[in-house]
Amino acid sequence: MPDNGRVLIVTGASSGIGAALARAAAGAGYRVAIVARRAERLEEVARAIRDGGGAVVSVVGDVTADDMPARIVSTTLGSFGRIDAVVNNAGSGAFGALLEQTDAAIEAQWRLHVVAPLKLSRAALPHLEAVRGQLVFLGSGIARVPLPNYGAYALAKAAIRAAATQLRRELRDRGVAVKYVDPGLVATEFHKAMGIERASEVPAASPDAVARAILRGIARRSAVVNAVPLHTGVAVLGEWCAMLADPFIISRLSPRRAASPPPVTLSGAEGRQPPPVTLSAVEGRQAPTSFEAALAPVARRMERIKLPAQVLRNALVPGATVELNALAMQWAGMPNKNERAALREALDALAAAGYLEPLGDETWKVTRGADT
């Protein structure tokens, strides 16, 4: 794809590979539509692109929301008039043994890494056909070699790898190129957000290097992009070795919990901290994540927008239904986009920890209370 002002959609563009790809693509002459939940971070990326003379439009929202594919496509067409490539990059992990993850946590991984990319690809397909465009799916070495305690993330990445191959064959005669990207181990926020330490045995690649590899793959219409060939080679070797690799994988590559972050600072009646997460002496399994630990990844965001933890604590009435708009109105009266997005992140964090079970796009059922 030559530098002629073509249009690239990048999801998960507020940080990491997505942000690096958006900046690199704009620098190479692409017009870029960037998508992410974190409005402030997304605006930082957009500002950097505009300051560099690039053309960019932002779409703030969760890619798993039912209305997002149509919003992303219509916003991109309204701003730039065409779509040449869609890079499905949005993703996150959830630490835990597969059978100990809740139904909600497993479903959330499937919706984020498989359902959402396919929905967006379907919405963009007619416009990609018109210009012989491209679909790009970000995978992981874990799709080849699942690692313990990555829960449903490994399954979802294996599924999107298979989907990319299937779509490549189905869409070939329609002029749409499909590529699968194995990014390798990358120095991003991914592992920190999961609450684990990045493997020290393998040197991490920079997001900028991976972004350049993806752009080269788009230019060449490659079917597969191995952004860090050495990392992919190791994964292939692990896949070929099958059970022979299990002892090494279990002992050396299984993720380790990162050092516990400071507890969320609460005031007044909230100042009483529940007992820390412990291991059951009988079963040896990790006890359910505490309310404070569940919110730790979004604690700073909550502090910035003055979202009290008590608002969420009060909403966790087992069996009740939590609706995003109603809770936002109850808390902030007339919430702005940043407040609404932050509340959504907090509710997603509670869902990942097993407190909520998704019922719809912005509705959850409470499965356990804050102190249970």
Residue 355 annotated as catalytic: no
Check residue 272 and give its pLDDT.
40
Query: Predicted confidence band at 268 (pLDDT cuts at 50, 70, 90)?
Result: very low
CA distance 159 to 347: 26
Question: Looking at the predicted structure, is the pLDDT value of residue 49 above 90?
Answer: yes
CA angle 93, 357, 98 (to 5 degrees): 40
Query: Predicted confidence band at 229 (pLDDT cuts at 50, 70, 90)?
Result: confident
Question: Looking at the predicted structure, is the pLDDT value of residue 156 above 90?
Answer: yes
Does 372 or 369 have the greater pLDDT score? Answer: 369
Strand ranges for 243-350 from DSSP E: 321-323
Give the neighbor-by-neighbor strand order of the sheet with 356-358: 321-323, 363-366, 356-358
Instruction: Delimit the domains of the chain by residue range.
Output: 7-239, 268-366
Does 30 or 281 have the greater pLDDT score? Answer: 30
The one-letter code for the residue type at 346 is: A
Per the CB < 8 A criterion, the answer to whether 365 and 316 are in contact is no
Nearest to 105 by CA among 372, 287, 367, 370: 367
Query: Predicted confidence band at 372 (pLDDT cuts at 50, 70, 90)?
Result: low
DSSP 223-242: SEEESSHHHHHHHHHHHHHG
What average pLDDT does this structure show over 90-118? 91
Per the CB < 8 A criterion, the answer to whether 14 and 38 are in contact is yes
CA distance 153 to 236: 18
At 279, give phi and psi (nearest 5°): -100, 140
Per the CB < 8 A criterion, the answer to whether 28 and 3 are in contact is yes
What average pLDDT does this structure show over 73-98? 94
Which of these is catalytic: 150, 153, 180, 355?
153
Q: Is the dihedral of CA 6, 215, 34, 88 positive or negative?
A: positive
Question: Looking at the predicted structure, is the pLDDT value of residue 158 above 60?
Answer: yes
Give the neighbor-by-neighbor strand order of the sheet with 56-60: 56-60, 31-36, 7-11, 85-88, 134-138, 177-182, 224-226
Query: Predicted confidence band at 240 (pLDDT cuts at 50, 70, 90)?
Result: low
At 353, give phi and psi (nearest 5°): -90, 0
Check residue 245 and give its pLDDT.
61
Give the CA count within 13 Å in the CB-facing half-sphere of 125. 14
The helices-and-strands tally (H runs, E runs) of the chain is 15, 10
Tell the CATH superfamily of the 7-239 domain: NAD(P)-binding Rossmann-like Domain (3.40.50.720)
Percent of the chain with pLDDT over 70: 83
What average pLDDT does this structure show over 69-88? 98
Q: Tokens representing 155?
A: 């399954």
Check residue 228 and give its pLDDT.
76
Check residue 287 and give its pLDDT.
45
Query: Predicted confidence band at 249 (pLDDT cuts at 50, 70, 90)?
Result: low
Check residue 42 and give its pLDDT.
95
What average pLDDT does this structure show over 149-161? 93
CA distance 269 to 272: 7
Check residue 277 and give its pLDDT.
39
Per the CB < 8 A criterion, the answer to whether 94 and 112 are in contact is no
Does 362 or 202 have the greater pLDDT score? Answer: 362
Question: Looking at the predicted structure, is the pLDDT value of residue 276 above 50?
Answer: no
Question: Looking at the predicted structure, is the pLDDT value of residue 337 above 50?
Answer: yes
CA distance 99 to 24: 40
CA distance 148 to 96: 8
Question: Looking at the predicted structure, is the pLDDT value of residue 202 above 80?
Answer: no
Check residue 41 and give its pLDDT.
93
